[in-house]
Chains A and B, each alone.
Chain A
Amino acid sequence: MRKFAELIEKLDATNKTSQKVAALAGYFAQADESDKLATIAILSHRRPPRPVNTTLLRAYAAELAEIPLWLFEESYHIVGDLAESIALVVPNDEHTSDKSLSAILRELVQLKSKTDPEKKEYVQHTWMQLDYYSRFVFTKLLTGSFRIGISQKLMTRALSQVTSVPEDELAYRLMGNWSANDTTFEELVFGRNEQAYVSKPYPFYLAYALENEIHELGDISDWAAEHKWDGIRGQVIFRKNEIFIWSRGEELVTEKYPEIAELANVLPEGTVIDGEILAFVDDQVGLFNDLQTRIGRKNVSKAVLAKVPVIFKAYDLLEFHGQDIRSQSYRERRILLEALVQAANYPVLQLSHQMNFTSWEEVITERGRSREKRSEGLMLKKKSASYQVGRKKGDWWKWKIDPLTIDAVLTYAMRGHGRRTNLFTDYTFGLWHLNEKGEKELVTFAKAYSGLTDQEFAQVDNIIKRTTLERFGPVRSVEPTLVFELAFEGIALSNRHKSGVAVRFPRILRWRRDKKVADANTLDDLKALIPK
């Protein structure tokens, strides 16, 4: 545990990629096999299920620190991270436990089924035994949130340096359905467990946003264009008579989309299709907001299935008759994909229409139609390109439409987390609306956390502290004085929101210091943006 904590401390202490990779490589070079496996599992988001809920953890910590619970909660609001707050308030003990990381992970798996007093005894005892940083890392494992700025990509790179297995191959091996309990480091990294490979997805190829003028991509005949659909990117795998649906977040979602799982009846053995899970309502592509009702549910009722059916829009073919065809050109893969979709002849499986334009002007015109076609914009793919691993520049570009924007008033603020600890950086925004009494009031419609520079956040933080009206735990209501231009990708009516409107991916575009609060937009202005 100590070595793993030291690794996390080193990763935490630098923002230089090269140093992070070096620290990881150094760790992988000396850690024992089972700890290496446990580390890969943790850093690829395969943590044991949360064994103790956080309410209990807070109570355990307050008790051990001999402080009232409210004081612990206040400290947590300010520290901004539960595991860190606990590690800070729990008394220091000189004894350092030498339990291994893998042993602790096993204990956490067993802990889940224990009684509350047993949980308390174990957790408090372990806190006391660990030094500060190990305690922090241990608590991070307990709370199940382990965002420490290490992408899977960096981990894979470090592991590749130590094992000499090529990075792209490793990325593939580390994907899919495995856990630290059912494999070994040796088998995961060097071996080939046929059983595990049946369900394994390929690493997704991701595009960067177009950086230059569209014309600079060169000869249009080298490029194919298609719409960038706004759903959940996924892979459908059919191998050994079994179907698996993976989301891009490496979540196995087969059970959530039974209508797509029915493709098991029509796909040939050894097929992997890359595509998009899309809501398909009234015979047309739905909004992302429609899909929301499907995302959270594991067991979908008949009513939900009927209300929001889904389709799988196929983009690409990665495996054909059991052969990995990623190294073939997009042109070749696309021919196979079209034949496959046609042969399947199944309404849930649709081709993403490929458009072969003869001039860039046509591409520009088509992009302008994205909103009416309910896409996020266009994807441009080089016809000669292979299917690559991860986010790469050059052969694939995404060219999204400009976001919708509105000027809104900051109404509530909350302290941020991570590097924004102790700063008010999470904001709620309102728009003007006439209430029943005919009075103008601000109606909350969106929250946003990103889009300002550190300097601007510091200035806004200062204003929030000076204009606070009321405090509700970590949240403050503020006097409406600040106007921001917000951007968002999509908009739809929603009865789950007070404003009656849901916006997708809202973020701050800029601080409108030139505008008074009275100049901000109204809820009606926002509703006018909803596609008919």
Chain B
Amino acid sequence: MKRSDLLIFDAKGIYCPQAQVYIDPWKPVNRAIITHGHSDHARFGHNKYLTHHSNIPIIRHRLGEINVQGIGWNEPFQINGVIFTLHPAGHIIGSSQVRVEYKGEVWVFTGDYKTENDGVCTPYELIKCHTMITECTFGLPAFKWKPQALVFEEINSWWQSNKEDGKTSVLFGYTLGKAQRILKHLDTSIGQIFTHGAVENMTEVLRPQLELPKTTLITPSTPASDIRGSVVIAPPSAHGTPWMRKLVPFETGTCSGWMAFRGARARRATDKGFVLSDHCDWQGLLQSIKASEASRVICTHGYTDIFSRYLRELGYDASVENTDYEGEKEEITTVEPAQST
């Protein structure tokens, strides 16, 4: 990093010295631009938050009464000569990339993003820039996502066949983002959808913005016989807890990019792994970088060492910066943290 850089990485987060504002800081700061609502990006304790309108209900729900200002896509705001705009990142509802322009130089921080239109959040928008700060959670050629239509076909036929066997289908996915994406694409002609409390709460928060099928919260008074043959959406942390007892007999399925690995499936002790991620796969990352026409690329989290080395071979000025972002967590273990070279 050079002192003259438009964005720098300091102990608190990604910082714009000219505008004196942080993006997704991991320590409390005065002013923070927040890309999206996941807890490693939207943290507690900042004085002022600025984020996309759709993200406000999410971070209010998670962080309580905070001082937050909403803004729309492509609505420029200036701070001390620096022009900021938010653009859809396609990661989860309300997720943004941040474009930063000063004296003709353009930087983009992607936040977490995916290039496929998931039918739930505003699709990813490509932005041209000189320097791109990108995540690379799945920055290995081993990651190649199938179109989601195929994955949801698999999920729905798995549900159908479990139902025919008299079993309940329990699907694990993140409370925010993944759960709603699953909900949106379930085939409701197969049966009913039940939810774990954490999923139900977040979905309630998002219902005003999304068209989602009906869900029923599982409570202590829900008769077990009502659930049988249905699909149940739960956070990964519910796997193996006493909460699951009422769902017997069941089959479990986990929706995550990590499910591409047999080892990860075995470790999760999940009956079925569905490879479904809200991050870019290898080609998604490479194509976005290429299309951005950036010459400089800074990798923040994921397989940063490997990915940046490959980018350098392709001719980019690529480097790695340490952050506290986690990408898509692999549950019982943590994802390899970002490393500097």
Would you call A65 and B141 a contact (CB within 8 A)?
yes
Would you call B332 and A454 a contact (CB within 8 A)?
yes
Within 8 A of B (CB), among A61-87: 65, 67-68, 71-72, 74-75, 78-81, 84-85
- A contact face: mostly helix, strand, loop, or mixed: helix
B262 sits at the interface (CB 8 A): yes
Q: Which residues of B contact A67 (CB under 8 A)?
A: 141, 310
Q: Which residues of B contact A89 (CB under 8 A)?
A: 141-142
Interface 9-mer from A157-165, A189-197, A418-426: A418-426
Would you call A84 and B269 a contact (CB within 8 A)?
no
Within 8 A of B (CB), among A112-127: none
Q: Which residues of B contact A461 (CB under 8 A)?
A: 333-334
CB < 8 Å neighbour of B267 from A14, A74, A454: A454
Would you call A75 and B141 a contact (CB within 8 A)?
yes
Q: Which residues of B contact A75 (CB under 8 A)?
A: 140-142, 306
Would you call A422 and B141 a contact (CB within 8 A)?
no
A74 to B260 CA separation, bound complex (whole angstroms)? 16
Minimum Cβ distance to chain B for residue A180 (Å): 26
Within 8 A of A (CB), among B295-341: 303, 306, 310, 313, 330, 332-334, 336-337
Within 8 A of B (CB), among A458-490: 458, 461-462, 465-466
B264 sits at the interface (CB 8 A): yes
Q: Which residues of A contact B143 (CB under 8 A)?
A: 88
Q: Which residues of A contact B263 (CB under 8 A)?
A: 79-81, 416-422
B271 sits at the interface (CB 8 A): yes
Question: Which chain B residue has the least Cβ–Cβ distance from A15?
Answer: B269
A394 to B287 CA separation, bound complex (whole angstroms)? 63
Q: Which residues of A contact B303 (CB under 8 A)?
A: 78
Interface size on B, residues (CB 8 A): 27
Minimum Cβ distance to chain B for residue A362 (Å): 46
Interface size on A, residues (CB 8 A): 35
B261 sits at the interface (CB 8 A): yes
CB < 8 Å neighbour of A465 from B265, B272, B313, B337: B337
B266 sits at the interface (CB 8 A): yes
A222 sits at the interface (CB 8 A): no
Q: Which residues of B contact A79 (CB under 8 A)?
A: 142, 261, 263
A417 to B261 CA separation, bound complex (whole angstroms)? 11
A15 to B273 CA separation, bound complex (whole angstroms)? 13
A13 sits at the interface (CB 8 A): yes
Would you call B141 and A84 a contact (CB within 8 A)?
no
A12 sits at the interface (CB 8 A): yes
Would you call B262 and A12 a contact (CB within 8 A)?
yes
A419 to B262 CA separation, bound complex (whole angstroms)? 7
The 6 A-B pairs of least Cβ separation, nearest first, read A421-B263, A419-B266, A88-B142, A458-B333, A75-B142, A89-B141
Given contacts A80-B261, A422-B264, A454-B267, 18 further A-B contacts (CB under 8 A): A13-B271, A13-B273, A67-B141, A75-B306, A78-B142, A78-B303, A79-B261, A79-B263, A84-B261, A418-B263, A419-B267, A421-B263, A421-B267, A422-B263, A422-B330, A422-B333, A462-B333, A465-B337
Q: Which A residues have a C-beta under 8 Å from some C-beta of B?
A: 12-15, 65, 67-68, 71-72, 74-75, 78-81, 84-85, 88-89, 92, 416-423, 454-455, 458, 461-462, 465-466
Between-chain CB contacts (< 8 Å), 27 pairs: A13-B273, A65-B141, A67-B141, A68-B313, A75-B306, A78-B303, A79-B142, A80-B263, A84-B261, A84-B262, A89-B142, A92-B144, A416-B263, A418-B262, A419-B266, A420-B267, A421-B263, A421-B264, A421-B267, A422-B330, A422-B333, A455-B332, A458-B332, A458-B334, A462-B334, A465-B334, A465-B336
